[in-house]
Structure 1
Amino acid sequence: MIFNGILSGFGKMQSRYVATVLGLFLIAAATPCSAHSFGIVYTLPLPFWLYAWAAVAALIASFVVLIYVDQVRLASPGTTGREIHHIALVRLAKRFKLLGLLKALSLGALLLCIATGFWGASSPYGNFNMTFFWIVFLLGFSYGTLFFGDLFAAINPWKLIADVIARIFPRYIHGCIRYPRILAYWPALALYIAFIWLELFSQSGPRRLANLLVVYTAINVLGVGLFGRKYWFKYVEFFSVFFRLIAIMAPIDYKPRESCGEGGHLRLRVPFSGVLTEPPRQVSLLVFVLFMLSSTAFDGLHETVVWKKLFWLDFYHGFLQYWTDPNPFVAYASMSRYYGYWQSICLILSPFLYFLVFAGFIAVGKLLTQSALTLKEILLKFTYTLLPIALVYHIAHYYTLVQTQGIKIVSLASDPFGWGSNWFGTADWLHRVFIPDTNSTWHIQLGLIIAGHIASVYFSHVVALRTLTTQRNAVLSQLPLLLLMLMFTVSGLWILSQPVGS
């Protein structure tokens, strides 16, 4: 039994006292255990190793097929899309002031989230801001960006606030300090890590969310005043960076007016073909992409029984008992504090660990091909090929929240403050709890993970063909990356299959 080690530390106690205390401990610590992200106990239809081997076989088969397809066609850069400046869609949007309406809704939604947080119901499920921000905005808008492109660049509410201030103080948006190029995307990464930390480890609620939105708004207002609108929203405001990366995979390539002259542009392209456009020039953006991967994986892993046993049993019996106390009940307070440090350190270091692993496999590929390119150049060329994996990880882990809690926005829109209002007549809609079928959920997650990694293998192979001189070198360079994709696939599925517990 897992508590044999604990019992051994109480050899001098009377057995009745030990049984009583241990019983109370077990009662306090006992929580339901369920298959990851399902919410109820779920046993996989087949042993996990069968799913793992099937996923491995699918990736290897896709790689073999790629070797024998038309290499010239794959290697050809081709066109990235077709300009559609003057098609009817653009004219229609201008005629009905669609973009202006979306901007107003975006800013209004931000202000409503703040207002409902301060003056609305304290229940997270009865307050508009929790469901709108965490589900509709972070999840729903992410998936919308995948189809409609970087619309957030045009309707970013913090950018709109900066524009309003600029109407009063015209020089405000130009900033007063030149943005240091050496910083690149590191500030955005730091804010992204802080945001995920708050999401995972801070006590959340409507009022706390409102406070955070006020603080983040103030940071953006001050940041634009310091470094200027252009550089702040390009390098620092992490939602802009996040949605811009997702939009790379969208079939609509939209650039707002500010970055493309008077008219801006709207361009149609093959879905996901943006991954093959010009690669980034900063390692910091690569680490940002890797954190999109590692944060999702960590979010799933840190809830599992395996992760918690590692710290509370293995680490405690291995060495922490000597730093805290051999008596686990006395050590509990210190252990809880150390557990918080441990979780935070793992989250913060996760993208850099992923970077070391990714760089290691790329370095092996460079060694095999004797490429004249530097390791940094090769790393950056393959940066965007990781985006399909980050996307499917995100969807596989969180899409059920859209089904379960996201639909509640229909009723919450009519009663955002939880005061019993019925503004749009929908306050009584969709109150029934919707629980997705666990069997379907698992197989959708399985399909998403495999499809994302196959897409990444494909795009990596295309990049290799365009980067290296011969087909042989392209294939050799992809062997280490294929192994990395296999590791990512199996580990991602393993995390999803693990039971969760407190």
Structure 2
Amino acid sequence: MASKSKTLLLLGALSPSAVQAHSFGKLYNLPVPLWMYVYGAAAALLLSFLIVGYFLQAPKHSDAAAPGGDLTQSKFMRALRRIKLLSALKFFSVFMLGLCIVTGLFGSQDPYRNINMTFFWVIFMLGFSYITALIGDLYSVINPWRVMAEALGKVFKRYTQGLWRYPALLAYWPALALYAGFIWIELFMFNRPSSLAKMLLIYSAINLLGVWLIGTQAWFRYCEFMSVFLRLTAKMSPLHYEEGRLRWRLPFAGLLEERAEHWSLLIFVLFMLSSTAFDGLHATKSWFMLFWTDPYGLLAPWVKTVPIASYAILRPYYVAYETLWLLLSPLIYLAFYLLFIGLAKLITGSKLSLRELALSFAFSLLPIALVYNMTHYYTLLLTQGVQIISLFSDPFGMGWNLFGTAGRYRAPILPAMGLVWHSQVGLILFGHIVSVYLAHVEALKVFPTRGKAVLSQIPMLFLMVVFTAAGLWILAQPITAG
């Protein structure tokens, strides 16, 4: 009995529900049962499906008819060019990359006192991603690795042209591989300022080597994962940069201007979804206990005791187990996606191949990927992101006060948990409704008649309901865990 109590105590101490990264330190009871939220969300999706299916007409196939306009010569843009804002932002991006490396190597190793952890993981990876969905693909212009590559190209004339032509068969697989590696580091490595600095040094070397091998255009289009990630995110923005021109368009309209060009890009989009879902899932008590309580008796004969008592021995195997599921996660999403796309093809009798249909509707999933990311992580901008103001005055964590802001916003902003939960539910529902609308518009372009277009979206509606229910369940786990 004593050993059992000891085991349960250890399980409680190690369980991720004990120290939740996204929780607020106290139990919050949902105002109504989770199933009621799921039913309500499903009803809202069904209603939006009926409204869109009834009122939406086939779009006119003319770019000139699409709402939008050129802002390149507007007074605001001319003012920005006069103050050389883009040049300043390019300098700032390279400077901050260097600062994150230097402070990580020579500053405090306390993650909360060193600027590099907060700036890179919270301000850049989260905040800048959300800003990109509003202002467009600014990253393609101020990308610090691209800026450095172009600077090297001015010294070594053929450097940015590359040694070899990029193989078309590779498509976006290199970007997906780097993205998966990045998420693995984020989830499973014990990140400290020094390890982040070393990661940035290695990633900088990879980028500069990649440009030398295949050239600037190919590397930053197909291989540098942040360029691909933020370019996809920018398709949801009402602003679009192209060949030195800036134009405005309706929000999310960019997702309808082109389709995914390769399986690798579709899986990249699905990994944007599945990696966020996995991050939420692997931190839940249900997931943790599935391995460590060994409900099917697979580990006990090997370790000769309950698995949690052999934590030190089994920990590497647990990381390998989680790594496997992380890598499988986009393939699981792909299987569900292809199942419902196949049903749409079956009930409409479409002569288009499964590949063509799958790639056509791929970008309609991006609003879901965006809101999933926001619901899981936006509170970090309030709890840790606000501290960037004080950290700029003391970037190394040495007790400096360079700009007189070292004591500002040191305390996190802690919104009420009820407000957080309802904002998360609202964001998830909004993202799915937008995806329902975009899928309908795409269906009207893909299928020959309006009736078949509406019919094709019935399986997609069920897919959206599945995604919504799964997202709400994952979000609710750290809130309702006892």
| Change beyond 3 A, Cα 1:381–1:115 | same
2:168 corresponds to which residue?
181
The one of 419, 428, 447 aligned to 2:426:
447
2: distance between equivalents of 1:163 and 1:76? 37
> Could you say which residue in structure 2 is the equivalent of 1:108?
95
Pick one of 260, 277, 280 that aligns with 1:300. Answer: 280
Corresponding residue of 1:266: 246
Partner of 1:355: 334
**Quick check: 2:23–2:478 contact (8 Å CA) kept in 1?**
no
Gaps of 5+ in 2: none
Specify the code of the residue in structure 1 equivalent to 2:57.
Q
Secondary structure at the counterpart of residue 267 of structure 1: strand
Q: Of 100, 105, 117, which aligns to 1:130? A: 117
The answer as to 2:379 corresponding to 1:378 is no
Write the letter of the residue equivalent to 2:144: P
Partner residue, 1:65 = 51
Q: 2:10 pairs with 28, 31, 38, which one?
A: 28
Partner amino acid, structure 2, of 1:353: I
Q: What is the Cα deviation at residue 168 of structure 1?
A: 1.3
Q: Deviations over 1:13-45 (max 9, x none)?
A: xxxxx51x3444333333364788323211111
Unaligned runs of 5+ in 1: 1-17
Change over 3 Å in CA distance of 1:80–1:166 after alignment to 2: farther
**Separation (CA, whole Å) in 2 of partners of 1:36 and 1:344:** 19
Give matches, 1:198-347, under 5 Å.
198-255=185-242, 260=243, 264-315=244-295, 317-328=296-307, 331-347=310-326
Shift in CA distance, 80/179, structure 1 to aligned 2, threshold 3 Å: farther
123-132 or 322-331: which moved more?
A: 322-331
Q: Which of residues 24, 30, 34 is equivalent to 1:39? A: 24
1:95: which partner in 2?
A: 82
Contact 2:20 2:283 in 1 (8 A): no
Could you say what secondary structure the match of 1:254 adopts? strand
State, as a whole percentage, how many aligned pairs show the same letter: 48
Question: How far, CA to CA, are the matches of 1:367 and 1:327 in structure 2?
Answer: 49
**Root mean square deviation of aligned Cα:** 1.9
Shift of 1:297: 0.2
In structure 2, what residue type is equivalent to 1:146? A
Are the structure 2 counterparts of residues 87 and 493 from structure 1 closer, same or farther at C-alpha, using a change threshold of 3 Å? same
Question: Which residue is 1:82 aligned to?
Answer: 69
State whether residues 74 and 465 of structure 1, in contact with CA within 8 Å, keep that contact through their aligned partners in structure 2: no
Report what 2:36 is aligned to: 50
Equivalent residues of 1:33, 1:499 under 8 A apart: no
TM-score scaled by length of structure 2: 0.95
What whole-Å deviation, never above 9, does each CA across 1:420-469 have from its counterpart, x for those lacking one? 11111111101223222100000000000011001100110111011101
2:369 equivalent to 1:390: yes
The 3-state SS of whatever aligns with 1:246 is helix
**For residue 292 of structure 2, what is the amino acid of its counterpart?**
W
| 1:189-236 CA-partner distances (Å, limit 9, x unpaired) | 000000000000001000000000000000001110001011000000
Paired residue type of 1:342: Y
Instruction: Give the SS at the match of 1:165.
Output: helix
Q: Work out the CA distance in 2 between the residues paired with 1:477 and 1:54.
A: 23
State how far apart, in whole Å, the 2-side matches of 1:355 and 1:333 are: 35
> Which amino acid counterpart does residue 346 of structure 1 have in structure 2?
W
2:310 and 2:388 map into 1 onto residues whose CA distance is 44
Q: Distance in 1 between matches of 2:108 and 2:7?
A: 35
Q: Which amino acid aligns with 1:29?
A: L
Q: Structure 1 residues 330, 302: closer, same or farther in 2, change over 3 A? A: closer
Preserved CA contact (<8 Å) 1:369 1:476: yes
* Residue 191 in structure 1 maps to residue 199 in structure 2: no
Which of residues 128, 132, 140 is equivalent to 1:153?
A: 140
Q: Kindly tell me: are residues 29 and 319 of structure 1, through their superposed partners in 2, closer, same or farther at Cα, counting changes over 3 Å?
A: closer
Secondary structure of the equivalent of 1:390?
helix
Q: Are the equivalent residues in 2 in contact too, given 1:75–1:463 (CA < 8 A)?
A: no
CA deviation vs aligned residue, 1:458-496 (integer Å, no higher than 9, x gap):
110111011101121111111111000000001100000
Q: Say whether residues 1:171 and 2:153 are aligned partners.
A: no
Look up the equivalent residue of 2:98 and give its one-letter code: L
Provide closer, same or farther for how the CA distance between residues 327 and 450 of structure 1 changes in structure 2, counting only shifts above 3 A.
closer
The SS at the match of 1:399 is: helix
Any conservation in 1 of the 2:59–2:441 contact (CA below 8 Å)?
no
C-alpha deviation, 1:76, in angstroms: 7.7
In 1: Cα distance, 2:168 partner to 2:252 partner: 29
Structure 2 CA distance for aligned equivalents of residues 347 and 237 of structure 1: 20
